[in-house]
Each structure stands twice: as structure tokens, then as C-alpha cells.
Structure 1
Amino acid sequence: MTVARRTLLALALSASALSTPLVHAQDKKELTIGATAGSNIEVLRQGIKPLLEKRGYTVKLVEFNDYVQPNIALAQGALDANFFQHITYLNRFREDRGLDIVDVVQGPMAPFGIYSKKRRSLAEVKPGDRITLANDPANLAHGLALLAEQKLLTLKPGADPIRVTEKDIASNPLQLKLQPIEAAQIPRTLDDAEYAIVNGNFAISSGLKLSDALLLEKTPDHYMLVLAVKGKDKAQPWTRALAEAFRAPEFKAVLEQKFPGYARPAFLQ
């Protein structure tokens, strides 16, 4: 065998070896997707999973009860994708932890709401009332911004509403007692606190109805949930299939029938 032929053969074998894992990745048909309890995982179960199964995918859903583990599991490879967070939270988590996770497509969410068993409206708020809200930075900022919108407190001029903390409160005229706790636990505080700002998915998983809220926010675009994957997987065919499922007319029909009142991105209106 000549040197030229040996060189060509070696190059061909190298190309074949390099292409094998790529073909395997493209042929991936078993997907594991994580979501938080309540509405988020139910949206996947009733709306997204059936569409993917029609395209030949096998889908396993994994339920979480906090806002940390779904991203850790994704970064470590235990999940192929997750659906539970808005872009603000994703960006902050990615920067804080140094993780290569990215957003793919927006999806619906059960909106933030203010609930109470002791008051019939926000107009009944009294000095010193206790309000529970999420303690993670992104959702704490979300809750504080919602209270500011309702004129229950004011934030310092120039404060970024998606990054504010309790240090950014300029005035609290009613001396409301703000109690940040783990988001999943907030519905349990309704027997004691006068008001609770509850993430929609945890409201539903605890048995509350969106119609029970004294106030449901009009969810801004930066608080809409996103599907996330590892950065290296963003261009994979199965990632595109996931994004297409979220944009499908069949998914929109499921939302309209089974998830009324949910906030939705513009392409699902």
C-alpha cells in the first residue's frame, strides 16, 4: 500500500470515528425533562409530551419542588431539558454558578398572585400586616415589584425592578412585615399571614385556584417561563423538536382548553 493510500485510509477512518457520536446524538429519541410541581409539569404532561411522542420520542418527566435542583440536574446531565424558570432567573443562576445552560423557547406560566384567607381584597390591608413571598433573589424581586405596582411600598429611584432586594425599599408606609421564605412553602402560610404572594405553579400544586387570588399579575415578557437546555445541545434535532412542540397549534389548543388564565408568550396568543 502506498503512502498516499495509507494517508487517505487513515483520514477516512478518523472521519468515520468522529462522525459516529454525532450521528448517535442526532438519533437521540429518549428525553428526560424536569419541571417544578403543579402547573409547569402538567403543561408538559398534557401539552408537550403527547406531541413529542407522536414524533417518535419517549419522554420521561421529573418533578422538582425547588428552584435550584432542576438547573443542577440539567448541567450535570441528569436532564436533557427543564421548564420552570423565567429568563431573569436563568441568567442570574447561570452567571452565579458558571453553568452552560441556555434558553430555547418561551412557554406559558400560571401567573403570580396575591392570596389571602384573612382579607377580601388589597384595599383591606392594615398597618403591620404580614406578607410572605419567595426568598430566592429573582422571585423576591418579582414579589417586591408586584407590591410596588400595587402602591403598597415604593422602591428607590433607579432601582432595577428585576434585581431589587429589601434594601431597595424606599418607603413602607404601612410598615408591612415582609417574610421571604422558600417559594414552595408559601401556600402553607395562608393560615397565619395576612397576604401571600404565591408563584402560580406552587399555588396550583397546593390546591389553590387562580380564581382564588385577590390579584393576578399581568405577566411581563421577562417573567415568562423558558425551556432550557445545555449550551452544547441547543442545535440538536431533539431540541428543535421541543421548540416546535411549544409553538404548535395543537399545544395552543391544549392551553386554551385545560389551562385558562395562564400567561402566554405572544406566539401562543
Structure 2
Amino acid sequence: MNRKTVLITGASSGFGLFTTIELARRDFHVIATMRNLKNKDTIIELCKQKSIKASIEFVSLDITDAASIQKLTEQIAHLPSIDILINNAGFALGGFAEETSLQEYKEQFETNLFGTIAVTQALLPSMREQGRGRVINMSSISGKMAFPGLSPYVASKHALEGWTESLRLEVKPFGIEVALVEPGSYQTNIWTKGKRIAQKSKLPTSAYAMMMTAIEHEMEKGSQSYGDPYAVALLIAELCTKRRLNKLRYPIGKGVKGLLLAKQMTPWKLWEKIVLTKLNAHL
């Protein structure tokens, strides 16, 4: 009778998949949404492997499509409440500012920001009416610091951070809590899936071709120390069970807190030198 219902977007892979599994293990009723419902088979199989008697409803959802969001609200109307919304759906687009088309920027923002806003707007009225609720937005360390060659993704996550901060202040008086999860580098397919790099920045004729190669080399070098994405799922699950979310931001990952603190404390001139020196080492 006290089982809480969680709706999670982008549940078919990465952090979303592992979070869905962990929440089901903890006996939440999970509404797992994804663009292609064929991908639900992976979740079902993992639940079998872990002997999890899951309470999972699978719902098709494209967060960039207003009609799809409207259909979602109709499909979940039978539920007494949605207690927690986890805005996890997103993708990462790399590329240099000069070469990334406005359309490519728009596509990045449509998912990482506007889609998140749209789903949240669809569920907030019911949370406000019931006088309680929780919204957890999946951000990134990129929402707090910028990296060269990743401007579309970085910009979308910076925007998400600002919007979420405003949202928390707006809805807290109604009993709704809001938080950001800010992972560092983890073993997910967010960068490798589909090789999502702005078209011009992939060309050997690009003025930034050597810099892109250096960035990819640095990312490949760092991949050996990437963390287990299940750790992020465990954090999100803890945020779903905590009595209160006393903080807005929850950074996670090896060295993430130290890196964020270092950027905050380091003068820009020195920070810039450090970043570019590290990049130039691969040129």
C-alpha cells in the first residue's frame, strides 16, 4: 500500500537502465519510459538474472514530442500518484562552436533541456495538488565546467543546472523537492553511441581536426579509470528513499568533488593554462 511510483525517462540504457533495475529491486513501482519499447527486453532479462520480481510498467515516450508526452499522461492517469520523476533521457553531442550548426545545437537542447522541461511541466500539476513530489534531474560535471570540443553538451547541461535551481525555489513551497545528480566519467554509451560529433568537426579538413584528435585521445586515456555506472544508480535510488533532499546538487565520481572545488578556487587565467597545456600535450 505504501509502494511509491517512480517515472524515469531514458530507461533503456546507461544510468536509466541501471536505475530502473535498482528501483525495482527496492520495490518501487517503476514507470520505465523509452523511445523504442523493444529495448525493454534488456531490462526484463537483467531482472531475471538478478531474481528481481519487478513492478515495472513500460511506456513509449519521446520527450521531444508533445503528442507523445500527452499520450504518456493519459496512460498513467489510472495511477493514484507519481511520487518521483527522474529526468534521465539525454544524449551528448560534441563539436566546436564555430563548426556546430544551429540545428545541431537545437537538437541537443531539445532533448537535454526542453524535453526535460516538457515532461516536468506535464507532471508538476498533480504533484502540486497532492502536496508532495520529487524531481531528480540528471546533469553532469559538464553542467558546472566547460571543456573544449564539447560545447553543445556543455551548454545544454549548464542551462539545465540553472533551470533546475529556479525550479527548486519555485516548487518547494508546494512540498515538491528538486535535485541534480552530477556524474563525472562513467562507463556508459553516451559518447560512443552513434559517434555523435558535429558533422563539420569530424572532417579531416576541419581547422580543429588536430584538437579533436587530442580531445578524443584524452578521453580514451581517461576511460581506463571510468567508474561503474551502477554507482550512480545507487545514488539516485538513495535520493528516492531519503526523507528529505537537503541539497540541490549531488556530484558523484572519482575526483569529481575535488575537480569542482579546484575550478571554483583557481583563478581563470591559471585554470585556462592548465586545460590548454593538457590538451596541447596531445597535439
Using structure 1 for the length normalisation, give the TM-score: 0.28
Q: Which has the higher contact order (CA 8 A, sep 6+)?
A: 1
Question: Which structure has the larger Rg?
Answer: 1
Using structure 2 for the length normalisation, give the TM-score: 0.27
Structure whose residues are more often helix by fraction: 2
